[in-house]
Amino acid sequence: MTKINLHGEWNFQLDKDKQGLNNELYKKELNDTITLPTTTSEAKKGEINTDREVGYLTDLYKFEGFAWFSKEVEFPNKSENDYIELIMERTRITHLWIDDNYVGTYNSLCTSHHYDITPYVNNNKHKVTIMVDNTSYPTKGGHMTSPDTQTNWNGITGEISIKITNKTRLSNVKFYPNIEDKSVIVRGNILGNKIEKVSLTAFDEIKVFDKKGYNINNNSFEVKYLMGEDVQLWSEYNPHTYKMKIQIQNEEKVINEDTYSFGMLSFKTNEKKFLINGQETFLRGKHDGLIFPLTGYAPTDLESWIKVLKTSKEYGINHYRFHTCCPPKAAFEAADIVGIYMEPELPFWGTITTKEDENHDEAMEEYLIKEGYRMLDEFGNHPSFVMMSLGNELWGSKETLNSILKGYKEYDNRHLYVQGCNNFQWAPCILEEDDFFSGVRFTGDRLYRGSYAMCDAPQGHIQTDAPNTIHNYDEIIRPTSKKKSSAGEVGVKQIQYGTGVKEVLVSETEEFIPKVPVISHEIGQYETFPNFKEIDKYTGVLKARNFEVFKERLEEKGLIDKADMYFKASGKLAAECYKGELETAFRSNELAGFQLLDLQDF
């Protein structure tokens, strides 16, 4: 295998008015340069943004439109057996040209973009042109694109490379560990010519296992590899991973090979708890929206994610729920190493409609479903990838949500799946295919979170009750005596929706007792007064102009001398509220975990 690293200087041009396709910019010399990987904001391209955003940080070089990148690339001599692929990690909608030839487009927000450029490479030097569009998404993109988290950046932030390998190659390899008989089922496909044999060799830093060969009759294979009695199981307490080298052969000649990482674990449930390797595990989780203010985008290097996850683990966190987003490969790799249970989510925050509904968007729904399959294919082998959610606070068709879950479970049963987090807020339900439940209430008065925004009232016990050491959620989650609740009032309710509100129609629902583990959704949410001393720490892409506005308001009121006292007093109150909320969760035997909002500034 040959890999050509395309990191470095590229020719570059901004195309705010999106006229580059009509003007055939891929045939022309671009008027600027840029060093990839980066974003246009990080590279300080374009006009300085003079806006002062109040609801979130201000992107100093905010740009939405087309960004063009081109580069002359030297290729080795091409063989008739070569398969040549261009790979881009962490970007937006891309379009690709080799010389003047249009190759195609790719629109995944969560996974890598892969282009087969084999037919276009005929010489030792070709011009590669990439156009990145951050305006034409099939969906709004949740926190993959939102201005209050990682921003709607434009660029390429991860791997950019050309991979040259034999056209007969491995594809879609998946590992299914079985801790009961200490084996792993390996499934995969072989593209290209017919192959007679696959050979597998597992290893870790200490031991190389026996090489085992398997004869195959077609180019799909499923083989069972025994790991032995002393195999180590992966968990937060022992995040041990293995690698597997897979070779494909004809007449004992190795045609191609690749190496994959995997872990030996079982992540299942009983009626009330999560079970990892048979042990009940309480999920001490946090929300994550990929917030990195210095760059405006999530890092794609392993070291950065190890630092982040280790810091969280020092605070007692063992679980990450990614709010309407999916982290890059490096995050899963770091979670494998550190021992964090990961729950990526489809990039969607809205309503799932059907063909009978007005304003039904079939293309968007198909895109989201496909995005989920892409996430399973690209990240599914990581032992840290244990759960998957369809989105945040969704409404709409329960039948469609259940159908999506069923499709994912039939395709890849290694993970636990849930319809979304805090779906149908006032009238929640558990779908047939839900493996667990993530929410804040079962009915209007069965609340198992400590605080609520007024638009999502009634308020929680931290807000309304005197501090105590006995409150828990056991009778709320699984009451021992049924009684009529105030749930399910018929009519229009106003709910919190992102940073705003929306109205939804709620109908009366039958009270139910959950028969799956229950996680409390986005607990905490205690605000503090700004620390104006932090303003100078925003030295990167995003600026805290909102803090500047708040500071000016305080100065106008003649209260700036009290700013530090306000900050410390509100911070002390927030810490006490978080303490009370967490202790209530830990006292609740019927609760299976929580997801904080948040451990970091939000």
185 within 8 A of 214, measured Cβ to Cβ: no
Give the domains, in start order, of the chain with CATH numbers: 2-166 (2.60.120.260), 169-262 (2.60.40.10), 267-535+579-597 (3.20.20.80)
pLDDT at position 505 is 61
Token pair in block for residue 393: 């606070």
Checking DSSP bridges between strand 253-262 and strand 518-524, what pairing results, if any? unpaired
- Alpha-carbon distance of 185 to 175, in angstroms, equals 6
416 within 8 A of 270, measured Cβ to Cβ: no
Q: What is the mean pLDDT of residues 438-461?
A: 91
pTM of the model: 0.95
Percent of all residues in the chain with a pLDDT value above 90, rounded to a whole number: 90
Checking DSSP bridges between strand 160-166 and strand 2-5, what pairing results, if any? antiparallel
Write down the mean pLDDT value for the chain.
Answer: 94
pLDDT at position 486 is 45
What is the DSSP code string of 323-344?
A: TT----HHHHHHHHHHT-EEE-
User: What confidence category does residue 461 fall into, taking pLDDT thresholds of 50, 70 and 90?
Assistant: very high
Q: What is the pLDDT of residues 562-598, one digit of tens each?
A: 999 999 999 999 999 999 999 999 999 999 999 999 8
